[in-house]
Chains A and B, each alone.
Chain A
Amino acid sequence: MELLCIRQWISGLLPTVKKWLSAWCIKPVGGALVRQEPEYILLALMGSPLKKIMLCSSEKEIFSVEEQVMVQHSVIINNMIEDGSYNHEESKIPLDCVDSKTLKKVIDYCTHHTHHHNDNQEDLEAWDAQFLNVDSNGLYDLLMAANYLEIRNLLDLIYGTIKNMIKGKKIDEIRRIFNIKDHGFTPEEEEQNRKEYPHFY
């Protein structure tokens, strides 16, 4: 909520600042002006580096990522920053159940959606489709990571994908897709189900 107010305030200032910029022919700092968000523009003008945080995968690999990116997407990380349990000078956030490959993908997703949230819907969906062009193991790992970090939009994307994978499929095929070797029903239950609902199998 606070970010929204700050952003609105900065947006209000921006036209004036931009006019000064063009009058004095000041060039953008480090390409940051390529991004649309007003606070990035203002930070670039002030020469402030964007705050970074460190995430540590289960393989002990450290990933440095813009704080704003992760705070916008992950409820868990947002809470850690807000309640002060993360110290920028010393800490890294250990993510023991997320491996490096998956963490890198999660960071890519969050970064892209932060920097491209003004893109049109079609482009974002195309990017998402390419992003989820993974095998089932990868999809499972992404789901577990998004669930752990509570990244709502990534979770919704993955749930929607899984739903499409099983939509209209027969039970036996769904079991193959999910590699379910032991369905957990007794032989009697399974036989009863097959007799009662043969069209689903």
Chain B
Amino acid sequence: MVMVMVGEGVGFQDLPEGCIANVVSLTIPRDACSLALVSSTFRSAAESDSVWDRFLPSDYNDIVSQSTSFSCRSKKQLYLSLCENPILVDDGKKSFQLDKAYGKKCYMLSPRMLSIV
């Protein structure tokens, strides 16, 4: 456990946005949304593509390419879209979405996939 004593006159409010983004990307999606409320610099960092790229699953390109209806302006939009709109993958045998708070993958299997041979 690292203990840091909080003091006056800290320059953290002057931290470059890139550094703040690096800290935010170590948290979870839910915390990133709350950190955007701290300050305008935090908001800019917390909403950056570099942060939300870390929250998306590493194979998100493969998953998204299986759906035709995807055009998002930012990685955060893509993330939220994957949370709110399940997409069909694997030739329609499974549906995929992300858990909003933690970014975990959620699959729903169609009855065909559950047949026991």
Contacts and interface: CB of A to CB of B under 8 A. Distances in A.
B74 interface: no
Contacts of A134: 4-5
Interface of A is mostly: helix
B2 A171 contact: no
B23 to A, nearest CB: 5
Interface stretch (B10-18, B55-63, B81-89, B96-104): B10-18
Contacts of B11: 137, 140
Interface string A131-165: 01111110110010001000000010001111111
B37 A179 contact: no
Interface of B is mostly: loop
Given A179-B12, A179-B13, A180-B12, A167 B27 contact: yes
B4 A132 contact: yes
28 contacts: A129-B1, A129-B2, A133-B2, A133-B4, A135-B5, A136-B5, A136-B10, A137-B10, A137-B11, A140-B10, A143-B15, A143-B19, A147-B19, A159-B19, A159-B22, A159-B26, A161-B4, A163-B26, A171-B34, A174-B35, A175-B38, A177-B6, A178-B10, A178-B13, A178-B38, A181-B13, A183-B40, A185-B39
Interface of B: 1-13, 15-16, 19, 22-23, 26-27, 31, 34-35, 37-41
Interface of A: 128-129, 132-137, 139-140, 143, 147, 155, 159-167, 171, 174-185, 193, 197, 200-201
